Amino acid sequence: MDENLIVRAFAENGISTEIRCEEAFAISEKYGISKMDIARYCNRHDPKIKIRSCQLGCFK
């Protein structure tokens, strides 16, 4: 996982405390970051970055 790339992508897209699933998918495609790496980063970040509006209904 390239954490620096994720940090840069989130900063460029104004992500700091929460991210919508749709945004995570778009960032994944635009920056070539796997969706799992984005999810791992969100869970490891302190404080955690909340995943909202999950397309699978996993996160509310």
Secondary structure, 3-state, 31-50:
HCCCHHHHHHHHHHCCCCCE
Give a yes or no: residue 48 inside a domain.
yes
Give a yes or no: residue 60 inside a domain.
no
pLDDT of res. 6:
97
pLDDT of res. 54:
74
Give a yes or no: residue 59 inside a domain.
no
Question: What is the residue range of 14's domain?
Answer: 3-52
Q: How many domains does the chain have?
A: 1
Distance (Å, whole) CA 54 – CA 46: 21
Q: Say if residues 2 and 33 touch (Cβ distance below 8 Å).
A: yes
pLDDT of res. 59:
55
Give a yes or no: residue 42 inside a domain.
yes
pLDDT of res. 13:
97
Residue type at 3? E
Distance (Å, whole) CA 20 – CA 53: 5
pLDDT of res. 9:
97
- pLDDT beneath 50, residues of the chain: none
Compute CA 59 distance to the chain's CA centroid, rounded to the nearest angstrom: 13
pLDDT of res. 53:
82
Give a yes or no: residue 58 inside a domain.
no
Give a yes or no: residue 57 inside a domain.
no
